[in-house]
Structures are given as structure tokens and as C-alpha cells.
Structure 1
Amino acid sequence: MFQTFLSFRHISHVILVACLAVAGAAGSPAQAQSQGLMLGECAHAAQGYFRNYGAQTEMKYNGRRVDGSYAINGNIYLETRMESFACSYAPDGNRMIRFFVEGRVQNAYLPGHTRQSNSGADVMRVNGVSAGDLLNVRSGPSTNYRVVGRLGNGDRVRRLRCQMQGNSRWCEIEMMTDMRERGWVNARYLK
């Protein structure tokens, strides 16, 4: 009888230790999984920005900032170069609140981001592109910037603002797609 009591007590202790170990382990993976989701989502935002979903990324979780937000840094390896980027997450860790790449904030690439309708933006159509050709959409207002997209005659875009660059007028546009990508085109192709 005494032997049975010790066995029961020993089994209860083993079960208690096992439960505590499982509970402790469950807390760690949940936190690690949350970090993993942040890392993956940030990498995906960079791949979307550079329109290369097969590109290798190298990610680093930098922890919590003084303001409570979380910091992620990364590098993306493109065909001819490497680019760095950064993401910030809300204090609850469930929502990306900032995406920074190429020296500026690019929040249009945040997951689930929906931009408010800009009443000052004109909806225009691409026009004047040679038959069988596409209009290059660039990351800045000149042909010196990298191509971030292409549009054909008849494609609708939202013109956000324009500026002179040398002898040409360039306009920042927002493509009327689910991602609402932004870029720059020569104004002569917008009607």
C-alpha cells in the first residue's frame, strides 16, 4: 500500500512537471511563432515591393522599441543587387504599421493596406504608347529610376501629383489594382 502511494505520488509529480514543461514550451513557441510571422510578413512586403516573390531574404528580429513597437530589418537579394528594408509592428505585434525601403516609408505595401480615396486625384487612362509596347512605371520621376511596373494603352490610373524633371513633366500615379502600387510615368502618356 505504501509502495502504491509513492507510485501515485511520483506519477502525480511527473504529470505536474510535464504539464508545466508543456505550458512553458507552449509560451515560447507562441512568442517565436509571432516573431516568425512578423519576419515572414516583412519579407513578403519586400518581395512585393520589388516584384520578385522568389528573391532570397535575410531577416533579423530586433526586438521591442521604447515606444512598444517591434522592429524587423531585412535584406533582399535581387538578381544584380542587394537592398535593405525595415518593418515596424504595433505593440500587440499583430499589425505591420510601417514599411521602409529605398530611403523612405512605403506604407502602400503594408499587408491589408487600403488607401483612403484621394478626392484631389484624377483618374486617367494611359494613352499614346506604341502598339505592342508597354509604358514603364518607375520608382521616381525620371528614366534613371528602376522600373516597378508596366502599363498598356487604356489602363486606368489615379494621378496623385506631378512635377517637372528637366524638360519633362512626370506624374506619380497609383495603379488601380488590389495592391494599389505607386510609381512615376511621363505625363505625356496620361489622358
Structure 2
Amino acid sequence: MHAAIATAMTRGAAALALAATLGGCAANTEWGGRFEVYGVDEGDMLKLRGGPGTGFDVIVGLPNGTVLRVYECTQTGGTRWCEAALDRAPETTGYVSWAYLREL
């Protein structure tokens, strides 16, 4: 009986650690939640980058309204970066700033 309680507590702690790591990135419990690019200044685009930071190459610019599937987010410096794929072209993947996403 004690082993079952310890296992349940370990699983609960692991789930809490995962939620803290994501920091609210995926509001729903499914990986690949749908988000849209939002709040980018007119005439600019959100950069989909090769890694989580501005030092990585830009893969493509994304205008407001672009739909993404967001998978995992990590904090790098003062920015939360999310691994994402284009909803209509899932083979196109990279990282975007969480600050410019809103859940659909």
C-alpha cells in the first residue's frame, strides 16, 4: 500500500514540475494546441527561428493571424520561446516568442 501511495505522489510531483516548466504555454492538456500569431506591429512579422533565441537563424516571418501548433515552451533569458509548427505546413517547425501568441 505504501508503494502505491509513493508512486502516486511521484507522478503528481512530475506533473506539477511539467506544468511549471511549461509556465502556461499550452493552456490545454494536449500537445500541439492551436495558437495564432497576434500583436505583431504593422509591417513586421514574428520570426520563426531555428532555436530558442534571437541568435538563431530566421526560418520564415509570420504575419498576424498565422495559425501554429505549439508543443513545448522554455524560458531563455527574459523571453519564453515555444517550439511550434505551421498548422497548414507541419513540416515547417521552429521557435517563436510566446509573447505574440494567443490560443484559438
- Give the TM-score taking structure 1 as reference length: 0.37
CA root-mean-square deviation: 1.1
Paired residue total: 73
State the match for 1:177 in structure 2. 88
- Judged with a 3 Å threshold, the aligned counterparts in structure 2 of structure 1 residues 156 and 167 are, in CA distance, closer, same or farther, namely same
Of residues 51, 73, 81, the one that matches 1:140 is 51
Instruction: Provide, for residues 100-141 of structure 1, a one-character-per-residue CA deviation record: whole Å limited to 9, x for no partner.
Output: xxxxxxxxxxxxxxxxxxx42210000010012111110000
In the alignment, the residues of structure 2 paired with residue 190 and residue 179 of structure 1 have an alpha-carbon distance, to the nearest angstrom, of: 17
State the one-letter code of the partner of 1:159.
V
State the match for 1:159 in structure 2. 70
Alignment of 1:32-111 (within 5 A): none
**Cα displacement (A) at 1:179:** 5.1
The runs of 4+ residues in structure 1 deviating greater than 2 Å are 177-180
**Cα displacement (A) at 1:180:** 2.8
**Cα displacement (A) at 1:159:** 0.4
State the match for 2:18 in structure 1. none
Identity percentage over the alignment? Answer: 34
In the alignment, the residues of structure 1 paired with residue 51 and residue 100 of structure 2 have an alpha-carbon distance, to the nearest angstrom, of: 16
- Judged with a 3 Å threshold, the aligned counterparts in structure 2 of structure 1 residues 125 and 181 are, in CA distance, closer, same or farther, namely same
Stretches of structure 2 lacking an aligned partner (at least 5 in a row): 1-29
State the match for 1:66 in structure 2. none
- Give the TM-score taking structure 2 as reference length: 0.66
In the alignment, the residues of structure 1 paired with residue 39 and residue 63 of structure 2 have an alpha-carbon distance, to the nearest angstrom, of: 9
Specify the structure having the higher radius of gyration (Cα): 1
Q: SS in structure 2 opposite 1:170?
A: strand
Q: SS in structure 1 opposite 2:99?
A: helix
In the alignment, the residues of structure 2 paired with residue 180 and residue 129 of structure 1 have an alpha-carbon distance, to the nearest angstrom, of: 23
In the alignment, the residues of structure 2 paired with residue 184 and residue 161 of structure 1 have an alpha-carbon distance, to the nearest angstrom, of: 9
State the match for 2:41 in structure 1. 130
Stretches of structure 1 lacking an aligned partner (at least 5 in a row): 1-118
**Cα displacement (A) at 1:167:** 1.2
In the alignment, the residues of structure 2 paired with residue 178 and residue 145 of structure 1 have an alpha-carbon distance, to the nearest angstrom, of: 21
Greater helix fraction, Structure 1 or Structure 2: 1
